[in-house]
Amino acid sequence: MSEVSEEIHVSLDTAKELGLLPEEFEKIISILGRTPNFTELSIYSVMWSEHCSYKNSIRWLKTLPREGKHLLAKAGEENAGLVDIGDGLACAFKIESHNHPSAIEPYQGAATGVGGINRDIFTMGARPVAQLNSLRFGNLNNERNKWLLRGVVKGIGDYGNAFGIPTVGGEIYFDDCYTVNPLVNAMSAGIVEAGKTASAISYGKGNPVFIVGSATGRDGIHGATFASGDLHADSHEDLPAVQVGDPFTEKLLLEASLEVIATGAVVGMQDMGAAGIICSTSEMSAKGKHGMVVHLDQVPTRQKGMLPWEILLSESQERMLVVAKKGRETEVQKIFEKWDLNCVLIGEVTETDRLHFYMHGELTADISAESLVLGGGAPVYEREYNEPKYLEKNKKFNQENIAIPGDRKDVAYFLLKNPSIASKKWITTQYDSMVGTVNMTTNEPSDAAVINIKDTDKSLVLTVDCNSRYVYASPEIGAAIAVAEAARNVVCAGGEPLAITNCLNFGNPYNPEVYWQFVNAIKGMGDACKKFDTPVTGGNVSFYNQSSDEGPVFPTPTIGMLGLLKSKKHFMTLYFKEAGDLIYLIGTSQNDISCSEYLYSYHNIKNSPPPYFNLEEEYAVQRAVTKAIQRRLIASAHDVSDGGLFICLAEAGMHRQFGFDINSDEEIRKDAFLFGEAQGRIVVTVKPEQEDTFIDSMLESEAEFVKLGEVTEGEMIVDGESFGDILEAKETYFNAIGNLMQD
């Protein structure tokens, strides 16, 4: 074996410039037994970045529940989670962030986030059937925030629509803390026959290694490093780190990948996402305990004169690494040729544990694959953490000091047009929600997206949820609420919660208060997942979501939940069906306005504890609603969340222009009853002729329930006071964001 080329002389200063710590530079020298050259140092810098190695988070991620009766792959084993859904089928699903790229170039940042998450799904052999997203932006009175929103939404819509996968659900919040650093989290789910998946692995001496899909360019170089640092005033200079996507090439790559996997000629396949070729080669090799010889000069490139480290680190989109079975090279190449895609032999599998990268016959890097990856040689840290000082302000909050507004209708309409609560129609109509004809909630709104599994009586139920204001108020309780709300939404749609994927968006992990938020959010998430029997299948940690000007964003552990609707006859919608139907609240209202949008926005009180939450009560409510749906005792189900009971009732009335006539609880202050956000509550409607049977069913449960009133022809009435016609509320609710974006 020839000696590795020295290339550029490297030093500790070089390592620091690439984002490595001094002790990490020393560890690299120890691993190699020599000083690395620039290519090797660049390799370690991306593979040991937070984005790839999870070096500051894996210690706590391992405490989450990661096993369950439905799981076919444990967290971290494959490109995405894999869950058994019966009938010989499995669902692959995952959520990931593309925050920093979207903050710099929102269109391509969001578009390539969509492309990347879909590749994670079809690399496993699953055909994507649904996309969701979770987005956070600053105040829409700010022109830059409007620019970010327009770019991100167009990026998601253009890529997803062209790729041909429906965008079926999501969530969007607005808060000043996201002004500099928006959050763009993309989720995808696909279906595959159980036992016919592909694995991200490499083994078998002499097996050929192909790069397939698009050519490699200089876009996205050091993208993983870019995502592992704070945003700052000069971040726009990092624009080359943002990848450029091509959804039409991705569509071809989808079809070619599924076809080649079906032949049985593939040993392993992995998407080239963060860190590009070096990530795919190292992770697949480490998993299979075999090495590779790779000839970088054989990689198709878009620009002339690309250096070895540029080729290795490029994050150009729509590319895969494929390890095929020896002797079946022609079979693999013909499939990609049929789809007019590159399929170039760049190397082969070896029996060693090392990666050898050559350029024009010269050895440019010689590295142990195991030394690069999570669970191998990548460093693992447990950072210092302590309770944030701002929590002292939360504890001092006393709602008795908050005056109850005399005009409750004014509050109601203030909330109806609040961008975090109001209809997201201006955004969602830019997405194709119907392509593929599997979305059952396009015209039948439900608390979660329901996706038809053709040729079966089953449907997938999908949702993404997190109220980051709650998590900021108490990371442990707020993260538990995020899981509980996701489960609540799945249940309200008629489904059974099965598993979650998560996208953990936090500030700088070297900040002890930020790390405290992270640690406690993990604890709360784990407790709730155990209660609902929804193990964590994987996901993404996104640290460094902060700027030098604004500080860290609210801790935002977004939960993507997969549920299963076992029979389509149990599909449940959220809207009122007929005037005269009875309105019941399952769960109990609380004398609590803490952390509500009403308190936060209307009263401008930013520090308060999280809303009332009891995990056992939440579980009992969800069990009771599941039973009522399966016994076909209710006509609608809608959870009480952002904006409280009034918003829940108004949303339930808008689809068919029905109102409501309810009475409040005299023992609870009026604003808390209508606008408080105490958790564990679901509004259901019952046909009058089924009321007795419904009550009997509820009495069998452990959940509290109360009759609120009945559905009206259109007027909204509380305690005899009119809040106007539902059409007035609907116009306010549906036009709020569009009006802001036109200003």
Active site residues: 51, 98
Contact 132, 168 (CB under 8 A): yes
Closest CA to 98 of 226, 280, 214: 226
Rounded distance, CA 603 to CA 594, Å?
A: 11
Q: Where are the alpha helices (DSSP H) in 417-474?
A: 425-428, 468-473
Using the 8-state DSSP alphabet, how is residue 371 labeled?
G
Which tokens hold the place of 118?
Answer: 């879909």
Phi/psi class of residue 455: alpha, beta or left (left: φ > 0; alpha: ψ in -120 to 50)? left
Rounded distance, CA 76 to CA 261, Å?
A: 21
The DSSP string of 30-96 is: HHHTS---HHHHHHHHHHTSHHHH-TTTHHHHTTS----TTEEE-TTTSSSEEEEEETTEEEEEEEE
Closest CA to 704 of 592, 620, 629, 615: 620
Q: Which residues pair with 82 in a beta bridge?
A: 73, 92
Contact 106, 152 (CB under 8 A): yes
Residue type at 609? P
Rounded distance, CA 614 to CA 289, Å?
A: 47
CA distances from 310 to 211, 297, 423, 710 (A): 16, 12, 44, 66
Rounded distance, CA 529 to CA 537, Å?
A: 11
Question: Is the dihedral angle over the CA atoms 120, 124, 129, 130 positive or is it negative?
Answer: negative
At 503, is the secondary structure helix, strand, or coil? Answer: strand
Using the 8-state DSSP alphabet, how is residue 609 labeled?
P
Closest CA to 156 of 525, 470, 430: 430
CA distances from 233 to 140, 171, 183, 237 (A): 21, 29, 18, 9
Q: What residues contact 261, with CB distance under 8 A and at least 6 apart?
A: 125, 196, 198, 269
Contact 109, 517 (CB under 8 A): no
Phi/psi class of residue 7: alpha, beta or left (left: φ > 0; alpha: ψ in -120 to 50)? left
With residue 199 as reference, give the H or E element that holds it. Answer: none
Q: What residues contact 281, with CB distance under 8 A and at least 6 apart?
A: 202, 209, 292, 294, 321, 355, 369
Rounded distance, CA 692 to CA 578, Å?
A: 18
Rounded distance, CA 381 to CA 27, Å?
A: 14
Q: Where are the alpha helices (DSSP H) in 183-246?
A: 223-226
Which tokens hold the place of 573?
Answer: 């919608």
**Could you give phi then psi for residue 170, rounded to 5 degrees?**
160, -170
